[in-house]
């Protein structure tokens, strides 16, 4: 939704798809996958936390040194020519800086209370989840799963990790989006059907530390979040019908703030981009 609101042109390119000649499709997909350099640092941190939890489920404990090496290898591989971030053409120094920052964040994640309690075997049940695996409903595929569920102190915790946060407390729209993990939970046959049985937590990196925000689940919060979801889905359906791929691309509004263009892979080929053009190949 945020992409549609900030730059309808980017939304059409990235999510509705290419309806031009076949030779353009490969380049289009490559541009759609492009991310800012710092995104690859944040993804390495996210991947490192998920890797640690997956290994812990198997009874294996990773050392800080092992994790630091894995982060370095992951980020360097991304920035090699042909890697996911190879188009950035970064020198060794900025890549090393991204590695150092990712290693620091991952090392600090060992201090997160709920992860320490899992490591000490204090949780009755816990399971890391693949957030990119959608929940299929009658008409939609929804990505509403948490990153981690934990049963501890007599309550189920639904946890989302945020690799960067602008504020310690989620904004109102973020709070409603977080409430959708309750929708995921009450649909799961193995979990309670009462939203009050859960707490929702967002653990986010902000100002050199991990900040843990949490709130008890409730039927009212779940209903608010479902109302927001229904409204967003209605807007997206109308957008798909109205934009119809690239047929009226030039008539669409584009981003008005440079920071939106900085994160867009299509900046290389966009005639109204607010950032300096980079190679599209």
The pLDDT tens digits for 15-70 are: 665 444 444 555 666 676 677 889 999 999 999 999 999 999 999 999 999 999 99
Residue 218 belongs to a domain: yes
Residue with token string 């049963």: 151
- Give 99-105's long-range contacts (Cβ < 8 A, gap of 24+): 99/41, 99/71, 99/72, 99/75, 101/41, 102/41, 102/42, 102/44, 102/45, 102/48, 102/71, 102/75, 103/67, 103/68, 103/71, 103/72, 105/45, 105/163, 105/205
Classify residue 99: in a domain, yes or no.
Answer: no
Alpha-carbon distance 180 to 146, whole Å? 9
Q: Does any domain span residue 267?
A: no
Would you say residue 205 lies in a domain? Answer: yes
pLDDT higher than threshold 50 for residue 144: yes
In terms of C-beta density within 10 A (0-12 exposed, 13-18 middle, 19 or more buried), how is residue 255 classed?
Answer: buried
Q: Domain for residue 266, yes or no?
A: no
On the CB side of 109, CA atoms within 13 Å amount to 30
Q: What's the pLDDT tens digit per position in 160-174?
A: 999 999 899 999 989
CATH code for position 170:
3.40.1350
Look at residue 24 and tell me if it is in a domain: no
pLDDT confidence of residue 37: 86
Number of domains in the chain: 1
Q: Which two tokens stand for residue 144?
A: 């509403």
Q: How confident is the model at residue 232 (pLDDT cuts 50, 70, 90)?
A: confident
Question: How confident is residue 254, by pLDDT bands cut at 50, 70 and 90?
Answer: confident
Q: What is the pLDDT of residue 46?
A: 97
Residue 29 within any structural domain of the chain: no
Report the chain's mean pLDDT, rounded to a whole number.
Answer: 84
Report yes or no on whether pTM surpasses 0.85.
no
Write out the two tokens for 200: 């929702």
Check residue 83 and give its pLDDT.
66
**Averaged over 242-250, what is the pLDDT?**
57
Query: CB neighbours of 252 closer than 8 A, spacing ≥ 6?
Result: 8, 9, 12, 243
Contact 121, 160 (CB under 8 A): no
Phi, psi values for residue 90, rounded to 5°: -80, 145
Q: Can you give the residue range of the structural domain that contains 159? A: 136-222
- 193 lies in some domain: yes
């Amino acid at each position: 939704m945020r992409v549609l609101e900030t730059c309808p042109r980017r939304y059409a390119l990235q999510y509705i798809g290419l309806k031009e000649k076949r030779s353009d499709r490969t380049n289009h997909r490559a541009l759609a996958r492009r991310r800012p350099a710092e995104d690859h640092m944040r993804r390495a941190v996210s991947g490192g936390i998920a890797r640690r939890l997956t290994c812990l489920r198997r009874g294996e404990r990773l050392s800080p040194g092992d994790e630091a090496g894995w982060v370095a290898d992951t980020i360097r591989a991304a920035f090699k020519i042909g890697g996911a971030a190879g188009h950035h053409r970064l020198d060794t120094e900025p890549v090393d800086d991204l590695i150092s920052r990712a290693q620091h964040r991952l090392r600090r994640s060992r201090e997160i209370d709920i992860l320490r309690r899992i490591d000490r075997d204090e949780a009755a049940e816990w399971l890391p989840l693949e957030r990119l695996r959608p929940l299929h409903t009658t008409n939609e595929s929804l990505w509403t799963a948490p990153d981690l569920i934990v049963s501890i102190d007599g309550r189920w915790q639904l946890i989302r990790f945020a690799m960067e946060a602008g504020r310690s407390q989620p904004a109102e729209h973020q709070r409603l989006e977080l409430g959708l993990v309750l929708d995921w939970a009450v649909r799961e046959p193995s979990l309670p059907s009462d939203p009050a049985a859960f707490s929702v937590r967002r653990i986010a990196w902000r100002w050199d530390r991990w900040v843990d925000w949490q709130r008890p689940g409730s039927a009212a919060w779940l209903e608010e979040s479902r109302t927001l979801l229904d409204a967003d889905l209605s807007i997206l359906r109308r957008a798909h019908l109205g934009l119809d791929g690239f047929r009226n691309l030039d008539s669409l509004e584009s981003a008005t703030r440079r920071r939106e263009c900085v994160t867009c892979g299509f900046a290389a080929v966009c005639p109204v981009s607010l950032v300096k053009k980079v190679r599209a190949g």
